[in-house]
Amino acid sequence: MSVALLGACAGSGVDASAYDATLWPQRPVVDLSYEMAPDLRTATGRESVVFTPDARVCELVFRAWTNNPTTAANGASLRVTGAAVDGREVPGQVLPAGAPDGAPGTLISIPLAQCVNAGQSVRADLGFQVALGKDSDERVGYSSTGPTSWIGSGFPLLAWIRGSGWARDPAVAMNGETAASEEFNLRSLSVTAPSDFQVLGTGTAAGQAAGSSPGTTTHRFTAASVRDVSIAVGRYAMLERDINGVRLHVGTPAEGSHVDAQTWAAEISRAVTALSDHFGPFPYADLWVTVTPEPGDGTEFPTAIQFSDAKKSDLRALVSHEVSHQWFYSLVGNNQAEHPWLDETLATVGEALVGGDASSYAYDDTPARVVGLMGQPMSYWPSRGGNDRYTEAAYNQGAAALLKARSEIGTDRFDSELRSYIKANAHRVATPDDFARAFSGDQAVLGLLRTAGAFAN
């Protein structure tokens, strides 16, 4: 079945150079490799990071988000098996930082023999082991019904934020993300897997070679600037399409799914094109989409998305939301633990604009119980209503406030100011103050956000 792709519209397509002015020249350089076990239930990894901080540091901090409560509950884990700094083996300290009892910690602190000044580079090399969760609907899992696996944020993530320092926020017992990281140059990503399996990666495919073991192939990828990594390995049916210069790679379980790959590709194509009209050029040359066999929704990564095996009726809104995250969290980063609304509210706005469910975000329908709580950190919610209340406050209330503001100041003006925010903060970790600065000339927008509590944290 052929896919009818939407034609180019004003602002659509890919032009990553539109955002180059804010690239950090001293961003970390990362080489990352995975060797998948034949049964796809574990992976052995190696990581090399060259880090040039913008402030004096006396330790390196990495986050093992695989060990957060919701992922660990499905049987996934990440354990660091060794670490060296500038070629010298060092013992690291693993701290719980929100990990559940019995699981490895989410925070890895590696002391430096000598403190490193701003502008001085240091190299860290880490080995790690990833265990995937059986039939997990979270970021790290494998399917018991067919040979497919998926790994998102499944490596030690350097947790540095320019101008702020190390992000030490604890993981929480909720599905919401808590990762925060500056972008890094993913110089190489290598995934070695049985040769009859498909491999989806992050960034741009950079060729294949024979693997280290007979019957395996190493797949290589590279990305100039990303803040996280996602891969998928297994028997996926692959489909590729061009969307106005964006290369789309869709992998669906070979044993079948609710929605075929052509329908997924058509919905993603529509979302990329329509959202580019509102947000500006799509920021990446490639988009890797993995459809897992498990129920759930979607999880975003730079240049990549994990979707659940969704029903066709859910596709338009779900795809619009997750594709919006390629601008918010991926291109314009945020500390997801401290300011989750900066990506989830804005992705919900994108969902409302092109996903067909704008009526779900009426300003007057905001429940009184969450008014003023939009800006609360992730740590606020586990004991105060959990995911449902958090969704009402940050996703729904936030989107309703911004959509009302958009109607009050005019759609063209709002979209223009939002694009200015994106361009000014591309490749950075933005804050609520940065968002307020972009709309400083529109008190109607800021007033609605203050009432919603966007600037409370």
Q: What b-and-e string marks burial along 403-426, b requiring 16 or more CB atoms within 10 Å of the CB?
A: bbbbeebeeeebbebbbebbbbbb
Which residues, other chains included, contact 154 with Cβ-Cβ below 8 Å and sequence gap of 6+? 43, 45, 66, 76, 78, 130, 139, 140, 229, 231
Q: How far apart are CA 291 and CA 307, in angstroms?
A: 5
The per-residue pLDDT for 13 is 65
Q: What is the mean pLDDT of the chain?
A: 94
The per-residue pLDDT for 138 is 84
If one compares 120 and 16, the residue with the highest pLDDT of the two is 120
Q: What is the 8-class DSSP label of residue 337?
A: T
3-state secondary structure of 79: strand
Pull the structure tokens for residue 291: 């459809």
CA angle 420, 307, 421 (to 5 degrees): 5
Give the side-chain half-sphere CA count within 13 A for 311: 2
404: left (phi over 0), alpha (psi -120 to 50) or beta: alpha
CB atoms within 10 A of CB 209: 11
pLDDT at 8 over 60: no
Say if residues 457 and 398 touch (Cβ distance below 8 Å): no
Average pLDDT over residues 289-316: 93
Which residues, other chains included, contact 388 with Cβ-Cβ below 8 Å and sequence gap of 6+? none
pLDDT at 12 over 70: no
pTM above 0.85, yes or no: yes
Average pLDDT over residues 189-198: 98
pLDDT at 191 over 50: yes
Reference 282, options 324, 315, 320; nearest CA is 324
Average pLDDT over residues 24-31: 97
pLDDT at 54 over 80: yes
Q: pLDDT tens-digit profile of 393-444?
A: 999 999 999 999 999 999 999 999 999 999 999 999 999 999 999 999 999 9
> Could you give all domains of the chain from N- to C-terminal order, each with its CATH number?
27-324 (2.60.40.1730), 335-452 (1.10.390.10)
3-state secondary structure of 141: strand
The per-residue pLDDT for 5 is 29
Average pLDDT over residues 271-280: 97
Q: pLDDT tens-digit profile of 386-400?
A: 999 999 999 999 999
Alpha-carbon dihedral 260, 262, 268, 270, rounded to 10 degrees:
-130
Q: pLDDT tens-digit profile of 196-216?
A: 999 999 999 999 999 999 999
The mean-pLDDT minimum among 51-55, 178-182, 294-298 falls in 294-298
The per-residue pLDDT for 15 is 76
- How far the first Cα of the chain sits from its last, in Å, is 50
Task: Band the pLDDT of 6: cuts 50, 70, 90.
Answer: very low
